[in-house]
Amino acid sequence: MRFLKKTYVFLIFAFLYAPILVLIVFSFNESKSRGNWEGLTLKWYRELFQDRQIMSALYYTLLIAILSSVIATVIGLVASIGIFHMKKLPQSMVLNLNYIPILNPDIVTGISLMVLFISMKMNLGFATMLLAHITFNIPYVILSILPKLKQMNKHLYEAALDLGASPVEAFWKVILPEIMPGIITGFLLAFTLSIDDFVISFFTTGSGVNNLSIVIFGMARRGISPKINALSTLMFLSVLILLIIVNLRMSVDNPERRGKNGRSKENGRYLPGIGHDI
């Protein structure tokens, strides 16, 4: 039985990661053909950094992803705190409204945002694409942060105030460290969704501003260049390194979340940043 379980898990991971492994291997292939192996080479990586179209698309992709993720995370954090303190019925209604953009097809969201921007006499381009990415990222950030708020001891904030902390100090030193894993998850999810998006970006951008998804879509009509394999490899490794750094940081922070006497700070008996037992 254990053998079947391990085999099942292995097959799942093989199915998920085998295509990525093939892509990485063929990014070093001398041949343009994906069916022939003609030896190792780094020429596709050299040509990648010499391709102005791809470099421009990469610049806009990363810039929009970073800006939209940061802004969406800040807005989502404030919205999550507001939703958390709502009464049950209004909270349920707002959460149902928050699910709509997630369940809504991307093509409907993209067309509706395009119509909105045009009706507001906005020129489609960098600003409209950025606003669109912020819009569809916010619901995912809220769904990442809100569970952490619900898991947190609800008396921590009041206890911090009783121990002399100001409301701002209590938020920064008590609440924020408790929900930081949710904030990081929301940011990474928003960043990934922004880099990956094609449909909404396609309808909300203008001439001269293209992200990688749009450029790759245009190249697919003429045949995918091995340079795209090299670019995808670099992006995959960058995201992998980022996730490793975040996991290492979280594993280092976890022991620090316990008091010197071994009592957990997450159960409300110790206040992080305030330094008092309750």
Q: What is the mean pLDDT of each run of 10 residues along the chain (278 residues)?
A: 86 89 86 75 87 88 94 94 90 91 91 94 92 94 91 81 83 87 89 89 88 84 79 84 74 55 45 50
* Domain presence at residue 263: no
Residues 183 and 118 in one domain: yes
The CATH number covering residue 182 comes to 1.10.3720.10
Whole-number pLDDT of residue 254: 57
Residues 126 and 236 in one domain: yes
Residues 9 and 79 in one domain: no
* Domain presence at residue 257: no
Residues 28 and 141 in one domain: no
| Alpha helices in the chain, H assignment, sequence order | 2-26, 43-50, 52-84, 88-103, 106-119, 126-151, 156-162, 167-170, 176-196, 199-204, 212-220, 226-256
Q: Which of 99, 82, 100 is nearest to 91 (CA)?
A: 82
Q: Which of 29, 57, 54, 56 is nearest to 43 (CA)?
A: 29
Whole-number pLDDT of residue 268: 46
Q: Which of 133, 135, 139 is nearest to 209 (CA)?
A: 133
Whole-number pLDDT of residue 238: 82
Residues 88 and 158 in one domain: yes
CA distance linking residue 117 with residue 95, whole number of Å: 26
* Domain presence at residue 190: yes
Residues 121 and 172 in one domain: yes
Domain that holds residue 137: 50-252
* Domain presence at residue 196: yes
Residues 32 and 149 in one domain: no
Residues 171 and 211 in one domain: yes
**Per-residue tokens: 127:** 């600003």
Residues 111 and 156 in one domain: yes
3-state SS string for 36-99:
CCCCECCHHHHHHHHCHHHHHHHHHHHHHHHHHHHHHHHHHHHHHHHHHCCCHHHHHHHHHHHH
CA distance linking residue 228 with residue 233, whole number of Å: 8
* Domain presence at residue 162: yes
CA distance linking residue 152 with residue 150, whole number of Å: 5
What DSSP designation does 172 have? I
Total number of residues shown for the chain: 278
* Domain presence at residue 264: no
Q: Which of 14, 16, 28 is nearest to 227 (CA)?
A: 28
Residues 131 and 210 in one domain: yes
Q: Which of 205, 207, 192 is nearest to 110 (CA)?
A: 205
Residues 86 and 205 in one domain: yes
Whole-number pLDDT of residue 260: 43
* Domain presence at residue 31: yes
Matching residue, tokens 């069916």: 35
Whole-number pLDDT of residue 116: 94
Dihedral, 93, 97, 103, 109 alpha carbons, nearest 10:
170
Count of the separate structural domains present in the chain: 2
CA distance linking residue 257 with residue 264, whole number of Å: 7
* Domain presence at residue 276: no
Residues 114 and 34 in one domain: no
Whole-number pLDDT of residue 34: 67
